[in-house]
Amino acid sequence: MPNPSLEPEILISRLSHRPRHLLKAMITVTSPPKSTDSKLADRVWTDRGSSLGILDRLPPEIVSILLGMLDTQSIARFACLSSRANTFVRSQRAYRDLATLVPQVLLALGRVGLIGLHSVAELHAALRTERCATCIEYGAFLFLPTCERCCWECLRLNPSLRVLSRKEAKRYFGLSDRHLQRLPTLRVIPGDYGISANPAPEHCELISVKAARGLGLIVHGSAGKLAQAMARRCKSTGLFVTGRYLQGGWPAVSQDQDLLLLPSQGNIPTDDFFGMASIPFPSLSKSGRIEDGLWCLGCEVTLRRYDSLRLPRDVLAAIVPSNCGPLRVLLGLERRARSKESFLDHVKHCYGAQQLIPELATGNG
């Protein structure tokens, strides 16, 4: 007879949580107010003609593609042109999903000054994706400068998912103030960021490492010349090591490789701006189901037992490869979000989950 305690929804309710310290490490926007553009789009148009203007000459499918190329602010303003424009915008699933499901992300993009950087189509594609852009895991966050979904581990380690100050962008990528005018700038929202809840610097403006690297390669012509330009500006060993890390690529992870279980990439420079350019971001499945990511309480139990020297050696050996640091792996697992399907598969084999629900070890009562 099936054990009721092993039903999927019961397992999720007993073994999953949403860790406040991780979610609060990012940009947080609570109960975003309805924007002026949305209010205008809600008006009942009685004093304007019902027309799309010259766009009426195009097939609806082409108009939809064109609207998808606009950013959310522009498409909201387009909706205010006429009742027909309003109705047409409301019929666009991509815009409707974004405005309904992730209004806090749209508000955050506006507040950091990047609302015009990404199109509706790009944002919706990220919403419809589960996987982190640079590894095989579930991506519970959105990196605003590049519109890439990412997991905690990649956000922490991947240099392409970092931001840096204008001074650092010039130093590490051989750029001038004139060059920086060509790059999007993120205005940091005041608040506390990272696990340590460090306050953001006042009036702070940041630039994406990925964008700065791309421009640096254009300006200097090659990766070798870019490295030479950086070396001339980084006289100390510490600055040189950081610059080499920021200019370096990120190892590609194959379909069956877990980034956490690979050997350590060495000392990773501290990210002084961690969380200031990212925000929790749900995913939308093809069936229309929304997922926010599930974190495993069992992994938290496993980490606590390791910290208190109560984790059996054979259990530790089964979880952590011999060429990896146990704390890095166990901490990474504790901070890893999973989709519902992945979570239910994970808890079947999670040591900590089996301590919380012993029936998992046998699969029955």
Coil vs helix vs strand at 343: helix
Most confident of 28-42, 194-208, 263-277: 194-208
pLDDT at 339: 95
Tokens in use for 363? 């699969």
For 121-158, write each residue's pLDDT tens digit: 999 999 999 999 989 999 999 999 999 999 999 999 99
The label of the residue with tokens 């609207």 reads 67
Residue 364: predicted pLDDT: 53
- Letter string b/e over residues 57-68, b meaning 16 or more CB atoms within 10 A of that residue's CB: eeeeeebbeebb
> Which helix (H) or strand (E) element contains residue 335?
none
| Model confidence pTM above 0.85 | yes
**Between these two residues, 307 and 40, which has the higher pLDDT value?**
307
Q: What is the mean pLDDT of residues 216-220?
A: 96
The CA distances from residue 279 to 108, 144, 195, 349, 357, in Å, are 8, 8, 14, 30, 32
Please give the average per-residue pLDDT across 220-226, as a whole number.
Answer: 95
What would the pLDDT profile of 230-248 be if each residue is shown by its tens digit? 999 998 999 999 999 999 8
Closest CA to 27 of 217, 242, 278: 278
In the predicted model, is pLDDT for residue 210 greater than 50?
A: yes
Token pair for residue 73?
């602010």
Higher pLDDT, 90 or 137: 137
Instruction: Decide if pLDDT at 67 tops 60.
Output: yes
Query: Coil, strand, or helix at residue 291?
Result: strand
pLDDT value for 2: 64
Binned at pLDDT 50, 70 and 90, residue 113 comes out as very high
- Where does the pLDDT of residue 40 fall: very low under 50, low under 70, confident under 90, or very high at 90 and above? very low
Q: Please spell the DSSP secondary structure of 27-51, one letter per residue.
A: ----SPPPPHHHHHHTS---SS---
